Chains A and B, each alone.
Chain A
């Protein structure tokens, strides 16, 4: 059974259609990369999966998205509970202007959990999960903004994991990081795959080929190609995919 199923999804901002008839499914504990030129709708598609798209007034969706076999766009779905099951990491690291500890604890606190030792334990466990514990264990109560960019991004991942999601959405998580931090992040993605289903938006094709199991190429709101990453990069079936991955791609107009 698939973890995520997107069926016939169309999406509009005002009158402009930014996603057109998207169909794709993702198996549990895999990494799916979404690639494509900027403005192709890959970030929008990501936000459709945890209904973050709804925060923008004037947006509209048709079609269905299933997570664990249940539709997430029916009226009885609690959107806040949904987002707790689907974690998200953003382009720019965005830790709260609080301590490292409070950043990770935030997700527990909004759940109404205030049990001190439980939170302590959870903070340590998630920080270990993202390989940050050794670096920050002595300064847990120092401001998170004092960390380096790469550390901040891993902290943001820890923060998302603390809520215990089963899916992790990543929106170009390495775009503001240096090469060493990026390498560490990719290693982390590989580790996280053992537990989580990951959807990764990236504009870096090497990254997509290194980290993902399957790759989807979007162009102007259309899903052009969706295949095993190995097949996708060695033997793409569509001409525009071929052009895009070889860098010969031209945007019309």
Chain B
């Protein structure tokens, strides 16, 4: 086995070197081809989904409820469920994550404690999403008796994205120039005043961009919600955080796994809506971050 790998390694080495010597840096071309290959495959798949799903995107699709008849089924409850989750995850993970991020970055002075907390957050970020589902099922749904509700779902997803918010907060605070903090201290400001009036306003766009990315991640998740009991049929518009719920990814899952192939058209259409939403949030986050980088570096 080892010999095979060694041979393989040498072969790759020789091939790459040969390309480079044939024409100046010939591998550059191949690297480009590989990168474009990935991009092309992804674009191709999206075209496929778009063509499949586009005809379904009509008023009925956006205002309809789940139905046995594919042509009549719509995403209204799922779409609203996703909006609910989006808002709640933002409201829960933002204060909690930012507070923990500030504490870690500016208050923890003991090296060992800092290291423990840091390793812990890295670990939280690495836990598979489905395990967060198990946590939500036992702790929020049953332990706190929240039932299979929007609130339980949002809490579960907030726990899942919490490490993302904390890491983003820390990175944003680290970008704040030390001179700002020093100037504030020199004027007699307390530690918290320095953070609240000087560091946070400068770091804020960076933090918001991180929270947006975290929310994006949350609204794309289906696995933990299936575990805590998202349902396939929601025959009403959810009106409170204690209502039963479904969200777009869950709806897509149920449609994709139905035996009738005409539901695949519904799934494709719902995917287009979900992708539009996630890409929009993603672009927004990236734009905010880029503008902030430009400002803070000048």
Contact = CB atoms under 8 A, between A and B. Distances in A.
Interface of B: 14, 17, 21, 24
CB-based closest 5 A-B pairs: A80-B21, A78-B21, A112-B14, A79-B24, A110-B17
A12 to B, nearest CB: 20
Contacts of A110: 17
Nearest to A110: B17
Contacts of A79: 24
Contacts of B14: 112
Nearest to A78: B21
A204 to B, nearest CB: 37
Interface residues on A, range: under 10
Interface string A84-125: 000000000000000000000000001010000000000000
Nearest to A81: B21
Nearest to A54: B24
B62 to A, nearest CB: 51
Interface of A: 78-80, 110, 112
Nearest to A114: B10
A78 B24 CA distance: 9
B265 to A, nearest CB: 50
Contacts of B21: 78, 80
5 contacts: A78-B21, A79-B24, A80-B21, A110-B17, A112-B14
A80 B21 CA distance: 8
A50 to B, nearest CB: 16
Nearest to B17: A110
B88 to A, nearest CB: 49
A153 B120 CA distance: 43
Nearest to B10: A114
Contacts of A112: 14
A79 B14 CA distance: 18
Contacts of B24: 79
A60 B187 CA distance: 53
Nearest to B20: A80
B267 to A, nearest CB: 47
B158 to A, nearest CB: 43
A110 B14 CA distance: 10
Contacts of A78: 21
A110 B17 CA distance: 9
A79 B23 CA distance: 11
Nearest to A109: B13
B174 to A, nearest CB: 28
B252 to A, nearest CB: 46
Nearest to B24: A79
B30 to A, nearest CB: 18
A78 B17 CA distance: 13
A87 to B, nearest CB: 20
B22 to A, nearest CB: 11
A110 B21 CA distance: 12
A217 B21 CA distance: 37
B10 to A, nearest CB: 9
A98 to B, nearest CB: 15
A94 B17 CA distance: 23
B68 to A, nearest CB: 62
A79 B21 CA distance: 9
B11 to A, nearest CB: 13
A9 to B, nearest CB: 21
A59 to B, nearest CB: 15
A112 B21 CA distance: 13
A85 to B, nearest CB: 16
Contacts of B17: 110
B211 to A, nearest CB: 38
A202 to B, nearest CB: 33
Nearest to B14: A112
A80 to B, nearest CB: 7
A227 B152 CA distance: 85
B13 to A, nearest CB: 9
A248 B24 CA distance: 47
A112 B17 CA distance: 10
